[in-house]
């Protein structure tokens, strides 16, 4: 009887281990989540705005590796203090399903008070937004943190090169899994909606070209008198008379979507 009990426990343990997957190639449950990897990473704060958390998907976070440790995928920063690791790149695993995938990173050094090692869990789910959205950080248990990342429905299909272009009358917003390139004439401000970086000129006769990472997801918003943005198979043009053109054709729509 004891043998059967031990056998059941051992079998259950194997099932649990097999339900998890190493994130080294960023594939889980038939989905390659590397489309969410970002060279600048992501950031969010806790509810009290005391800590800022920086993290990435299946890759290092540049904001966390200022001390040249070279293996931090998630960290917490308070004010101007040095980053505290909450996840190491070599200690991650997937669980859940492709509809709600959990990517959990653990640490094994510098425990917090009480002796617990810090961990960071990223919940990745498809949603109805046009870009990637990041929730606040929650401390689900002592020194165990969680964030929810929502990406556009269908973007976990690696063959999908969906691009959206939105015209608000003063500028354009492009969302794409590919790189985005915008060129303009006159005073211009472009904001990378993922990294928060800006690209701008105040010259009346100035010309400027602003680009994102070559690999998405990417999102850029630009305001200018005359603006042309290109990503994958879509080129959007906002002329000085505020007319909106997509791939050489005039459009009366405010939001245009294209897929290969």
CA gap 96, 99 in Å, rounded? 8
Q: Tell me, yes or no, whether 91 and 174 share the same domain.
A: no
Structural domain includes residue 17: no
Structural domain includes residue 184: yes
Res 18: pLDDT: 37
Structural domain includes residue 229: yes
Q: Tell me, yes or no, whether 33 and 61 share the same domain.
A: yes
Q: Tell me, yes or no, whether 146 and 30 share the same domain.
A: yes
Question: What are the residues facing 46 on neighbouring strands?
Answer: 137
Q: Tell me, yes or no, whether 186 and 208 share the same domain.
A: yes
Structural domain includes residue 9: no
CA gap 8, 2 in Å, rounded? 10
Res 63: pLDDT: 86
Structural domain includes residue 13: no
Q: Tell me, yes or no, whether 145 and 176 share the same domain.
A: no
Res 3: pLDDT: 41
Of 85, 119, 152, the one marking the end of a domain is 152
Q: Tell me, yes or no, whether 92 and 187 share the same domain.
A: no
Of 93, 121, 152, the one marking the end of a domain is 152
Number of domains making up the chain = 2
Please tell me whether the peptide bond between 142 and the residue prior to it is cis, using omega within 30 degrees of 0: no
**Cβ partners under 8 Å of residue 254, min gap 6:** 166, 167, 168, 244
pTM (whole model) above 0.85: no
CA gap 152, 166 in Å, rounded? 15
Q: What is the DSSP string of 86-126?
A: EEETTSEEEEEETTEEEEEEE--SS--TTSPPPEEEEEEEE
Q: Tell me, yes or no, whether 176 and 244 share the same domain.
A: yes
Q: Tell me, yes or no, whether 53 and 136 share the same domain.
A: yes
Q: What is the DSSP string of 193-247?
A: TTT--EEEE--TT-EEEEE--SEEEEEEEEEEEEEEEEETTEEEEE-TT--EEET
Structural domain includes residue 129: yes
Res 215: pLDDT: 67
Res 1: pLDDT: 47
In the chain, helix, strand, coil percent, each to 5? 10, 50, 40
Cα-based distances in Å from 224 to 16, 34, 53, 242, 253: 54, 33, 33, 10, 19
Q: Tell me, yes or no, whether 117 and 43 share the same domain.
A: yes
Supply the CATH number for residue 80's domain.
2.70.130.10
Structural domain includes residue 12: no
Residue range of the domain that includes 103: 23-152
Of 129, 152, 175, the one marking the end of a domain is 152
Query: If we measure between CA atoms, which residue out of 212, 246, 181 comes closest to residue 254?
Result: 246
Category of 116 on φ-ψ map: left (φ > 0), alpha (ψ -120 to 50) or beta: beta
Q: In what order do the strands lie in the sheet with 84-88?
A: 42-45, 52-55, 72-77, 84-88
Q: Which two tokens stand for residue 181?
A: 């390139």
Sequential pLDDT tens for the chain (260 residues): 444 444 444 333 333 333 456 676 788 888 888 888 887 789 999 989 999 999 999 989 888 987 656 789 999 999 988 999 999 998 999 999 888 999 999 999 989 988 899 999 999 998 877 678 899 999 999 999 999 999 877 655 544 457 889 999 899 999 887 889 999 989 999 998 887 889 999 988 888 999 987 666 788 999 998 999 999 889 999 999 999 999 999 999 998 988 75
Question: What are the residues facing 235 on neighbouring strands?
Answer: 230
């Amino acid at each position: 009887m004891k043998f059967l009990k031990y056998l059941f426990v051992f079998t259950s343990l194997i099932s649990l281990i097999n339900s998890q997957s190493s994130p080294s190639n960023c594939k889980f449950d038939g989905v390659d989540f590397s489309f969410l990897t970002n060279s600048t990473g992501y950031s969010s704060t806790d509810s009290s705005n005391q800590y800022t958390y920086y993290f990435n998907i299946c890759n290092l976070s540049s904001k966390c590796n200022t001390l040249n440790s070279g293996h931090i995928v998630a960290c917490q920063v308070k004010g101007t203090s040095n980053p505290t690791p909450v996840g190491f790149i070599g200690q991650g695993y997937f669980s859940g399903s492709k509809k709600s995938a959990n990517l959990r990173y653990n640490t094994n050094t510098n425990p917090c008070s009480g002796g617990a090692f810090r961990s960071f869990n990223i919940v990745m789910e498809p949603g109805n937004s046009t870009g990637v959205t990041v929730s606040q950080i929650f401390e689900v248990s002592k020194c165990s943190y969680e964030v929810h990342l929502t990406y556009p429905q269908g973007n976990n299909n690696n063959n999908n090169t969906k691009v959206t272009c939105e015209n608000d009358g003063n500028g354009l917003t492009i969302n794409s899994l590919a790189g985005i390139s915008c060129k303009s004439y006159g005073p211009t401000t472009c904001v990378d909606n993922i990294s928060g970086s800006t690209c701008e000129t105040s010259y009346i006769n100035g010309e400027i070209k602003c680009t994102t990472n070559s690999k998405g997801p990417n999102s850029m918003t630009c305001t200018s008198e005359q603006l042309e943005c290109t990503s994958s198979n879509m080129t959007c043009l906002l002329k000085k008379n505020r007319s909106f053109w997509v791939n050489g054709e005039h459009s009366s729509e405010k939001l245009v979507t294209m897929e290969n």
